[in-house]
């Protein structure tokens, strides 16, 4: 096979993992990572909860379920090899009432079907032993759920890719993708060009726009959902030992404020989920009228909003009122007070939405000619990143993928 030239657009955890994996599988390939910011991991990868999800909730057999489990093993191994922190602090899904307790059994069953080790339902006494400050009548305990530093992982992945021959260019914002005679000309906003045989779009919040430039379908579209966090004051960090989560509402599995210790010792409370008023709008005052208009004009969003406006309003209330946000967290840790929490970071989920208003649940990778796009990679995609890279690179190298 002739030497192939690849451009990977996006220097988050998936882009860097893909570049590294490509060179492991095709050592002669010419690989260039193009990242628009002046550093790697500036968006979702550097603004998330830092949890290595064990794979409790995902539909057995889905990409999320299989790549999450494979991703956990690869990530654990990678962190051990590179001396990066990987702490199995465990997680409890806390049931506050009988209805929630009833749901724990089904989640445990699903977790076992996904091959998650050590998961079991525990009673109030055991929960109290693990988490003395947490209220709840029962819980599901996942002892292997872990925390890591995804920025450090990304930097290390990029370093490995560089060592294997990749070029990593920051400050290169891709603005055009033009296929001509079997090649793709990738142009930046500054007018620079990179000519390659294949392009892989790992561009998170911007991926649908870039995929459309390559002739891919209009939908699903990315709708940006901001997740805002508070942090516990240092003297309150001991209120939790591990990860404390609500029992997920099957209708809104990514909702529900949780408590998340981080590898640097900080404890985050959150995130919530509110519509961001720009794709990279980390604060309420970050508004892009053009992007907002495009979201609102998208029929998929209008259908989604019609169905879920009540939940949306409740999330907004938590966003605008610290008291309401604290009240949500206090259901799990009754000792918490408004004074214990200080505003912290925010991240924006790149969630793909279909034209019919449904959220794309599974990871989705599409291909148009020489361009492969990761069109939906929300949580647990950081956990799954090394496995997503394995999967995607096999698709890329497989027979029949030539444009
Ligand atoms: C609030 C929040 C909490 C989360 N918690 C977890 C968690 O605990 N565990 C977990 O597994 N997952 C979690 N996730 C999900 C996880 O962070 C993402 O799935 C993962 O980071 C996706 O990685 P990525 O590389 O696809 O995206 P990103 O990290 O967003 O990277 C995309 C990159 O593409 C670049 N880019 C975009 N457009 C262009 C362009 N035109 N030219 C060049 N570069 C471009 C961007 O600058 C960016 O650096 C969370 C997400 C959020 C938002």
- State in Å: Cα 204 to ligand 1 middle: 5
Provide the domain count of the chain.
Answer: 3
The CB of 19 under 6 Å from ligand 1? The reply is no
- Is the separation of the CB atoms in 275 and 165 below 8 Å? no
- The model's pLDDT over 304-359, given as tens digits with 9 standing for 90+, comes to 989 888 788 778 777 778 888 899 899 999 999 999 999 999 999 999 999 999 99
- The model's pLDDT over 175-204, given as tens digits with 9 standing for 90+, comes to 999 999 889 999 999 999 999 999 999 999
- State in Å: Cα 338 to ligand 1 middle: 30
- State in Å: Cα 45 to ligand 1 middle: 4
Please report which confidence band the pLDDT of residue 256 belongs to, taking 50, 70 and 90 as the band edges: confident
Least Cα distance to 403 among 176, 177, 180 occurs for 180
Q: Which residues contact 15 (CB under 8 A, 6 or more apart)?
A: 8, 9, 33, 35, 200, 202, 203
Among protein residues, the one whose CA lies closest to atom 37 of ligand 1: 203
- State in Å: Cα 67 to ligand 1 middle: 17
Please report which confidence band the pLDDT of residue 383 belongs to, taking 50, 70 and 90 as the band edges: very high
Q: Residues 249, 288: one domain?
A: yes
- State in Å: Cα 16 to ligand 1 middle: 11
- Determine, yes or no, domain membership for 291: yes
Element housing 302 (H / E): helix 299-320
The CATH code of the domain that includes 39 is 3.50.50.60
The CB of 375 under 6 Å from ligand 1? The reply is no
* Strand-pair category, 5-9 with 198-201: parallel
Among protein residues, the one whose CA lies closest to atom 14 of ligand 1: 379
Q: Residues 227, 308: one domain?
A: yes
CA distance 147 to 342: 21
Q: Residues 380, 306: one domain?
A: no
- Determine, yes or no, domain membership for 296: yes
Average pLDDT in the 129-150 region? 98
The CATH code of the domain that includes 303 is 3.30.9
Q: Residues 379, 242: one domain?
A: no
The CB of 203 under 6 Å from ligand 1? The reply is yes
Q: Residues 182, 258: one domain?
A: no
The CB of 48 under 6 Å from ligand 1? The reply is yes
Q: Residues 324, 391: one domain?
A: no
């Amino acid at each position: 096979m002739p030497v192939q030239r690849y451009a990977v657009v996006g220097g988050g955890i998936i882009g860097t993992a893909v570049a590294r994996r490509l060179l492991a599988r095709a050592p002669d390939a010419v690989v260039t990572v193009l990242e628009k910011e002046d550093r790697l991991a500036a968006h979702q990868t550097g603004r998330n909860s830092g949890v290595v999800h064990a794979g409790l909730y995902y539909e057995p057999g889905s990409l999320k379920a299989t790549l999450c489990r494979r991703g956990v093993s690869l990530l654990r191994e990678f962190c051990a090899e590179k001396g990066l922190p990987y702490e199995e602090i465990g997680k409890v899904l806390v049931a506050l009432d009988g209805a929630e307790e009833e749901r724990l059994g089904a989640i445990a069953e699903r977790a076992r079907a996904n091959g998650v080790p050590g998961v079991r339902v525990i009673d109030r006494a055991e929960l109290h032993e693990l988490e003395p400050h947490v209220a709840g009548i029962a819980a599901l305990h996942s002892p292997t759920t872990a925390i890591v530093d995804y920025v450090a992982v990304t930097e290390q992945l990029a370093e490995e890719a560089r060592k294997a021959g990749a070029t990593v260019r920051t400050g290169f914002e891709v603005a055009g993708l033009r296929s001509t005679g079997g090649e793709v000309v990738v142009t930046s906003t500054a007018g620079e060009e990179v000519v390659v045989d294949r392009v892989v779009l790992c561009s998170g919040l911007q991926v649908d726009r870039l995929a459309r430039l390559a002739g891919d379908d209009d939908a699903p579209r990315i709708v940006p959902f901001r997740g805002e966090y508070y942090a516990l004051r240092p003297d309150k960090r001991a209120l939790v030992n591990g990860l404390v989560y609500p029992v997920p509402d099957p209708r809104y599995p990514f909702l529900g404020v949780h408590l998340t210790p981080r590898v640097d010792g900080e404890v985050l409370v959150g995130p919530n989920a509110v519509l961001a008023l720009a794709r990279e709008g980390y604060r309420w005052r970050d508004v892009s009228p053009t992007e907002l208009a495009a979201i609102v004009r998208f029929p998929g969003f209008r259908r989604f909003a019609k169905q879920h406006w009540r939940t949306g309003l409740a999330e907004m209330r938590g966003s605008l009122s610290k008291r309401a946000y604290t009240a949500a967290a206090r259901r799990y840790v009754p000792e918490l007070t408004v004074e214990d929490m200080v505003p912290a970071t925010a991240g924006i989920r790149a969630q793909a939405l279909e034209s019919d208003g449904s959220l794309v649940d599974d990871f989705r990778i599409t291909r148009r000619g020489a361009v492969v796009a990761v069109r939906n990679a929300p949580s647990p995609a950081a956990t799954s990143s090394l496995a997503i890279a394995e999967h995607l690179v096999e698709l890329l190298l497989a027979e029949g993928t030539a444009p």
